[in-house]
Structure 1
Amino acid sequence: MTDRRQFLNLAAASAALACLPAGVARATLVAGRDYALVEFPQPTLDPKRVEVLEFFFYGCPHCFELEPLINRWLKTLPRHAYFRRLPAIFNDAWVPLAKAYFAAEALGVVEKLHGDLFNAIHLQGINLNNRDTLLRFVAQRGIDAAKFGAAYDAFGVQAKVQQARDLTSAYGIEGVPSMIVDGKYRTSSSMTGSHEKLFPVLNELIALAWRQHAAQR
C-alpha cells in the first residue's frame, strides 16, 4: 500500500455479520484491523443502493496491481451495490494525475483511458504528470487533445480536484488504494492483509450496509 503515514487504528463497533450472497466466502472481520468506521460518514451518490468508493492514485503501484482484481470482482457485484472511483489527493504533486482522471470523466472516456493511464506509467515509464506529454498520449489513443486539454483546465475539473482533496481528508484516507463502503466503512488491502483478502471483506461490508438500508425502509 502507498502510505502517507501508518494507518491509524480506529475503534469500530462490532456487528453480527451474516446472510452473505450465495457463493461468497465468509470473512471473519476484526474491527480496527479489517475495517474501520469513518469518523464523519459522508453522503453517497445513490442512497437507495450501497456505494463502494475506491480512492486511488495513478502513480501508485499497488493501485495498478489491484486494478485487474477490481475488474474481475465487479462482475460479481450485486445489483443493490455500485462502484465508483475517486483520485486521492494528499498534496499538490497528486493533482495533475487527478486532473487527468477528471478530464477523462468529463469527456466520457474513463473506460477507454483508465487502464491505459496505469499501463503508461507503470509499464512504459511515461511521465503523465506533464500536461504536454499527457495530451500527446491521449491523442495517440484517438482522443481529441484540444478537447482533453480544455477539460483538464476547466473550472469544473478544478472544483472536482478540491472536492477530492476534501473527501480524502473527510474519509480519513491515509494511503491508497482504500475503499469506502456506503460512506461509513473504510478498508484496504493493507488492513485485510492482501489484495485477495480485500474482496471478501468488501462483500461482507456490502451485505451489512444493505441490511441497514432495509432496516431503515
Structure 2
Amino acid sequence: MIKPVSLILAALLMAVQFVHAEDFVAGKDYEVLASPVHTQNKNKVEVVELFWWGCGHCYTFETMFDGWKKKQGDTINVVKMPAMWNKTMKLHAQAFYTAKALGILDTINGPFFKALNVDRRRLNSESQIQEFFAKHGVDKSTFEKTFNSFGVTSQVNLAESRARSYRMQGTPEIVVEGKYRVSPGQAGSQARMLEITDFLIAKEQTARAAK
C-alpha cells in the first residue's frame, strides 16, 4: 500500500535529522534560545537572516545565502532583518524598511552593499541616503515621507526588539523558528552555517509532521 505523502515526507525528514544528529550539537554548533521568539508565519518554519549592509562578512555571505534561499522554494519563510547597535546601523535599518515599503528592496540591496563595502561610501546621514535613493529613481519628497513614516519607524523598532530577544552576537547570523541562533563563530564557516540551518529546519519540520 502506498503511504500518504505526509508520512513519506516525515520519514525523509527524520532520515535527514538522523544523518546529521551527531554532526551538529546544541551549545557547540548553534545556540538554543532560552526564550523562543514569536514568528511571523505559523504555517512555515521561519529563517531570519540578521545582517548589516556595512558588514564585510555579510557582503560575502549575501550571494551564498541568496543561492541557498532559491533552493528552498516556498517551503520556508525567509525574513531578512537588519541588525542595529549604533546610530548608523539604525539609519541603515530605516533605509532598508524604506526600500521595502517602496517596493524597491531588491533593487537597492546589492548597490547599498557595494556602496559601503566596495566604494567605501559612508552613507551615515539621512541626506546621504536620500541622495543614494534618488539615483535609483526615488524623488526627495517620497523618500522623506517614507523614511520618517510611522510604518517604517515601527518596523525598525520591532526589528531592534526582536534582535535583542535573539541575543545576537554579531553579523551575519541566522535564527531558525525563533528558537535557534546560528553564528559563523560557532559554525566555523559561512557554508557550515547553512548546513546547520538545513539541519534545524529539518528538525522543526519533522516535529511538525509528528503532531
TM-score range, shorter chain: 0.7 to 0.9
Give the 3 Å change call, closer, same or farther, for CA 49–118 of structure 1 in structure 2. same
Give the 3 Å change call, closer, same or farther, for CA 78–29 of structure 1 in structure 2. farther
| Cα distance in 1 for residues equivalent to 2:111 and 2:16 | 34
Runs (5+) with no aligned partner, structure 1? 1-16
| Cα distance in 1 for residues equivalent to 2:105 and 2:117 | 18
Higher Cα Rg: structure 1 or 2?
2
CA contact (8 A) 1:42 1:183 kept: yes
Runs (5+) with no aligned partner, structure 2? 1-12
Tell me what 1:55 maps to.
50
Aligned mate of 1:133, from 128, 131, 146? 128
Aligned mate of 1:144, from 139, 146, 152? 139
Q: What letter matches 2:179 in structure 1?
A: K
Any idea what SS the aligned residue of 2:138 has?
coil
Tell me what 1:184 maps to.
179
Measured against aligned partners, the alpha-carbon deviations of 1:142-181 in whole angstroms (never above 9, x if no partner) come to 2333212211111221122211221111111111111110
Tell me what 1:11 maps to.
none
Tell me what 1:212 maps to.
207
**1:115 equivalenced with 2:110 (yes/no):** yes
**TM-score of the pair, normalised by structure 2:** 0.87
Q: What letter matches 2:78 in structure 1?
A: F
Q: What letter matches 1:94 in structure 2?
A: M
* 1:155-170 paired onto structure 2 within 5 Å: 155-170=150-165
CA contact (8 A) 1:39 1:172 kept: no
Which of the two has greater helix per residue? 2
Measured against aligned partners, the alpha-carbon deviations of 1:82-130 in whole angstroms (never above 9, x if no partner) come to 2111111223342111110011111111111111110111111112122
| Cα distance in 2 for residues equivalent to 1:79 and 1:108 | 20
The runs of at least 4 consecutive aligned structure 1 residues that moved more than 3 Å come to: none
Q: Please state how far the C-alpha of 1:18 moved relative to its aligned partner.
A: 4.2
| Cα distance in 1 for residues equivalent to 2:190 and 2:92 | 23
Q: Please state how far the C-alpha of 1:78 moved relative to its aligned partner.
A: 4.9
- Computed over aligned residues only, the root mean square deviation of the Cα atoms, in angstroms, reads 1.9
Tell me what 2:16 maps to.
20
Tell me what 2:148 maps to.
153
Tell me what 2:25 maps to.
30
| Cα distance in 2 for residues equivalent to 1:90 and 1:130 | 16
Q: What letter matches 1:46 in structure 2?
A: N
Give the 3 Å change call, closer, same or farther, for CA 83–159 of structure 1 in structure 2. same
| Cα distance in 1 for residues equivalent to 2:88 and 2:70 | 33
Any idea what SS the aligned residue of 1:97 has?
helix
Q: Percent identity?
A: 31
Any idea what SS the aligned residue of 2:78 has?
strand
| Cα distance in 2 for residues equivalent to 1:121 and 1:102 | 18
